[in-house]
Structure 1
Amino acid sequence: MPELGFLAVCAAALVGALGQRALGMGFGLVAMPVLVLVVGPLPAVTAMTAMGVVASLLVLAEVWPLVSWRRLPWLLVPALAGVVPGILLARLADDGLLKTVMGAIILVGVGLSAWLHRAARPLTGNVPVAVTGAIAGVLNGSVGVAAPAVGIYGALGDWPQRAYAAALQPFFLVMSGATLLAKGVLDPAGTPPWPWWRWLILCGVIIAGVLVGARVASRLPERAARRGILVLSFLGGVAVLWAGVAGLTA
């Protein structure tokens, strides 16, 4: 792989790790599009999942006391149930069409979230959390991006932003591990042909991003954080839609 491509991956990992710490999400949204361009779609899923595990572990170590463990299963269990159907859907459906439809749904959801956030009271109870988890699982298994779904709930739900951002770390950690395992069984994919020292550099870049993100998080108002999550969700939807349209027109 050209050196310039690896530098682009490092830059994406730095920004993604910063967002993961400051907002609770963002690593996959930033890193996935760059990885797809540099190493291709199948190795990108494996690489992004492995890097996401590292980022979530580092952030979780910092925000552990804020995690709402009693409420987390309502998000995590439906998500795990949705991973395998998402992978099977990706195998059965045309890749370009699937990503186009998913990207369009994400963008509509983000638009509705921005409007409803101003016009309605927050969603309460655990049912919206469970629905969010199921949708996130299907998205993660099918197109490799679960963050837009949890981002939409983050803007509309009654879960305090800092506590929600903390809970997303074990959520993404378990989801990444489950997706990696399920893909290995149902849809084996390769990994980027990187030497060990490049993986070591990426780990160092992710650590730096998390440290910078911790400083940003301490100064970030909750309202600004929720807006940031919506922006990241919107960008994720655009990336998925763009990939789908490009696949259909190729």
Structure 2
Amino acid sequence: MTKLSVNINKVATLRNARGGNNPDVVQVALDCEKFGAQGITVHPRPDERHIRYQDVYDLKAVLRTEFNIEGNPVDKFNDLVLKVRPTQVTLVPDAPDQITSNAGWDTKKNLSFLTEIIGEFKEKGIRTSVFVNAEAEMVEYAAKAGADRVELYTEPYASAYAGSPEVAVRPFVEAARTARSLGLGLNAGHDLSLENLKYMHEQIGWIDEVSIGHALICDALYLGLEETIKRYLECLK
């Protein structure tokens, strides 16, 4: 079964907009687990504009499901991950001033760098995933770097879905087949939603995990968190 990991960055954004601890990021994460999510994802950035580094330590102490920390492997991020030792680290090549991640790694160009970083995390028993575009070559070089998994950057699929689901998903199916042929685990994330998630899962049934934040939190404003998670899990059956 494909696992649902809920990205709670937007919950932290709302908290930080007002100060204080409302909404309580840790409690929301625990509620997500209670309502059926099989993982929690956070993406701390250097300016801590949503998830703070302290949040990561607080979450690690109480979470019972898989904990996935995403981010650009700069020294501060690497130190955090090595101290916390989450279930999984997802390496994302985002600049400090990016609003959100908008591209995968050029794994061929950055092979040496990624090989070194992945080796450090795997020595500590941390499963390592590399965020990549849906391109066979990028998947292949992620495998050469020693990654355990790749996470397919799915915004292009989400953007093209309304026009033609079949066309939109095609490169992702090919990239997913490449990952499977290389023995890599497969994750997917970015702009997946109740509108487009079920179809992708039907076409790529061997996805290990989807990481969903923005759309899920938006849906929860209308449906409530428990009902929203239930509906996302239904898409993954």
TM-score, length-scaled by structure 1: 0.28
TM-score, length-scaled by structure 2: 0.29
Greater relative contact order, per chain length (Cα 8 Å cut-off, separation 6+): 1
More strand as a share of residues: 2
More helix as a share of residues: 1
